[in-house]
Amino acid sequence: MAVSEVGHEGIIVSVAPEKTCVRIVSTSACASCHAAGLCSVAERQDKIIEVTTPPGSSYKEGDTVRVVLSESKGLKAALLSYGIPVAIVVAVVLVCSIFNADELVAGLVSGGIVALYYFLLWLLRVKLGQEYRFSIKD
């Protein structure tokens, strides 16, 4: 059974002995729409991804490459960044409504807890970064 991968085309912007930086263009789902230029919803953003490469790699600045991550890691990343925060907001709002709390209080409490959750993720960024390793697919 082959491992499914999620990938993006990118351009190498810098090469170091064991690290290569690749610029990818992240676009929203509607960016390919013919009316995307007229719509403010369509987003396009450049991102730089650091990829660990073996010493002596033949990559050069300006090369076009494909940066990949296993699909299971991509799904886990989406869960950590979007799924859990949404679940936190829904749970806190439900608990606040059970205790007849004001909507403003429910919103502020859920926002505070989500901010605390993201701060925790930020504290764990080094550990999480070791788990999420991108690679260049030839």
User: What residue has token string 């799904």?
Assistant: 75
Strand 135-137 and strand 19-27: the pairing is unpaired
pLDDT tens-digit readout, 55-107: 777 888 888 888 887 767 778 888 999 999 999 999 999 999 999 989 999 99
pLDDT tens-digit readout, 11-60: 889 888 888 888 987 665 555 565 555 555 555 678 888 888 877 778 88
The domain segmentation of the chain, as residue ranges, is 5-137
User: What residue has token string 């030839």?
Assistant: 138
Q: Is the pTM of this model over 0.85?
A: no
